[in-house]
A and B are shown apart, each in its own frame.
Chain A
């Protein structure tokens, strides 16, 4: 099975790089909630996607999650 985001061999549904990126995107959400007091998951994804500091694989995961 191939990773739908990059075509590399998938470990489960994604490749090892995008799996790690997904973990990081999920792990950062509570930190954003704490920082702003409140932020919806959807708005969080939009903000992460727009941020210039966000890594390439993290951005691809955000787009993937937004499409699901």
Chain B
């Protein structure tokens, strides 16, 4: 009789599972260079090992990486697909040898599409075809209680649909990405001299399309004037300022007429309306909501928040973060979690208060069959959390506590002032019962704007009428958070992949800066696709495939049929690209050159006023420095630069000296630098 081999997704999870099942008595051993845990639980002997994320990946069997189209794809161990994954081969060998001595197999990877795919592939390829017979441990937290329960109620065939959908998604995305990327990269290489990967993925294309459409709106924008009118009204030594009832006055003549009609005239408070509104607590977090809130509260980009949340999950401090659910089922044991949180001093008063009443959390509309909404586990941190981990942990804890809080009440007041035939308005609001806001603390975001005491019939003198010329604002650029929200709304990508796709858009040079300005390369990719392969950047096809992948998961769509359909669609688009390879190459290559050239420009030269300061590399020393494009005309403005890390332009000028500000991105935290070595801001007093 052999042992039970448990396969986890990550090494940290394997340790948590072993500690939970063995009661902390399991010992780790190094087996074939891989850490595994061995222990007895009752009569059963367990060996717990782990993957390192995806240890198998999709690739094509061809050695030649420039050939397209490729439609025959297979699963390979990741070390053959990606040379950076060299350590994975050793891990697969270890798992193969462990599988040989096992009589029972348990898939304990995260219970979602990716985790199921990881577990399925290991059981199939490394464990000799055990994917159908292995048992499934399903859990949403890595706490001892949840893990023991999961292993006491192991299920058979629990995630087969998820695994089928996961494998289909990987295959489709690979075929999609590799063919279009090779088509574009090879076209550009044919036209230019330098190879650079130009990629377009199934979700990446439409996401870039959103950015491009917004970029066009911004760059083509022509502002139109309007006028804002406000009145200052005096009474009994006090005054109040109220805005004209029409927020935007379209003509200067009308704005001036309001002024001449009202100035020096009597104003009467015609209506004072006060009402109390209930403000319900915010919904429990799914991963998208957490990413948006962390961006709002701390400025963390979505991929960073996801990484932090995963670390907190692996420390058993929060539940599984890659969830779409906004619901907290009673099975998570609301009270036990709040009691656990209450052991942390900063939450103890709030926890005590909540435990006095009935615990009924607010529930959102979105559900996820695999996991509940993100919530704290009630465990206290066993190691010191870094600043970003503490911030996200605090946000998750406070959001969870707030979900149980009663609705807040706010008093909203509006006052209307009539002057001749014109109306002015003033509004305010204040919280009269904090309810859930007490628990959500500084994240609740409501401010009090008190109204001066005004009663109906009060009379004022219109002492001033301010007419201000304004212009329509151009639309804002997407940031990483608003793009994520747009992708969610358009139902493209998955909760697990959206942040990564946004990071790829930045990494490929399609967008630059925090405000995600689309580069010439990004514009050229969209323009090319729109001309030769329009469905690649539209949302319809991608959304259709997402729907069919759900069908694969549910068993109504066959995996192979979906792949065949994708290949058929793609083949037509690739043929069009191939026929126009020369034109495509010219456009992409020219845009690449412009994007690279622009990336060296840091800003306007403050010395000669009309040159540009650029990053230049010395021919003799090979060191980089800042120099002016007007050097040949005599401008000698220059400055040294750090020789390590990436220099990224910010388009911002230093407030002290007007020289450009850059970001220096190295192995540590990125830092801002005014490139002027003589900047007054750098001088010590």
Contact = CB atoms under 8 A, between A and B. Distances in A.
Interface of A: 7-9, 16-17, 20-21, 24-25, 27-28, 31-32, 34-37, 48, 51, 53-58
Contacts of A56: 219
- The list of the 7 closest CB pairs from A to B, nearest first, reads A55-B221, A53-B223, A28-B222, A55-B219, A57-B219, A21-B220, A35-B225
24 contacts: A8-B587, A9-B587, A16-B527, A17-B216, A17-B219, A17-B220, A17-B523, A20-B220, A25-B222, A27-B222, A32-B225, A34-B250, A36-B251, A37-B251, A48-B222, A53-B221, A53-B471, A54-B223, A55-B218, A55-B219, A55-B221, A55-B222, A56-B219, A58-B222
Interface of B: 216-226, 250-253, 471-474, 523, 527, 587, 590
Contacts of B472: 53
Question: Helix, strand, loop or mixed for chain B's interface?
Answer: mixed
Nearest to A57: B219
Contacts, number: 64
A58 B587 CA distance: 22
B371 to A, nearest CB: 44
Contacts of B219: 17, 21, 55-58
Given A53-B471, A54-B221, A58-B219, 14 more contacts: A17-B219, A20-B220, A24-B220, A24-B221, A27-B222, A28-B223, A34-B250, A37-B252, A37-B253, A48-B223, A53-B221, A53-B473, A54-B223, A55-B474
Contacts of B252: 35-37
A58 B253 CA distance: 27
Nearest to B221: A55
A51 B225 CA distance: 10
B251 to A, nearest CB: 5
A44 B473 CA distance: 18
Nearest to B530: A16
Given A20-B216, A24-B220, A28-B222, A53 B474 contact: yes
A35 B248 CA distance: 11
A3 B257 CA distance: 46
A18 B185 CA distance: 27
Given A20-B216, A53-B471, A53-B474, A36 B222 contact: no
Contacts of B523: 17
B586 to A, nearest CB: 8
Contacts of B216: 17, 20
Contacts of A20: 216, 220
Contacts of A17: 216, 219-220, 523
A55 B474 CA distance: 8
Contacts of B226: 35
A9 B218 CA distance: 21
A58 B225 contact: no
Nearest to A58: B222
B659 to A, nearest CB: 21
Given A53-B472, A53-B474, A35 B224 contact: yes
Contacts of B222: 24-25, 27-28, 48, 54-55, 58
B444 to A, nearest CB: 33
Contact of B225 (A7, A25, A36, A55): A36
A12 B320 CA distance: 55
Contacts of A34: 250-251
A57 B250 CA distance: 25
A41 B225 CA distance: 15
A62 to B, nearest CB: 9
Nearest to B590: A7
A28 B220 contact: no
Contacts of B471: 51, 53
A14 to B, nearest CB: 12
A32 B250 CA distance: 10
B521 to A, nearest CB: 13
A19 B471 CA distance: 23
A33 B219 CA distance: 23
A24 B221 CA distance: 7
Contacts of A48: 222-223
A51 B220 contact: no
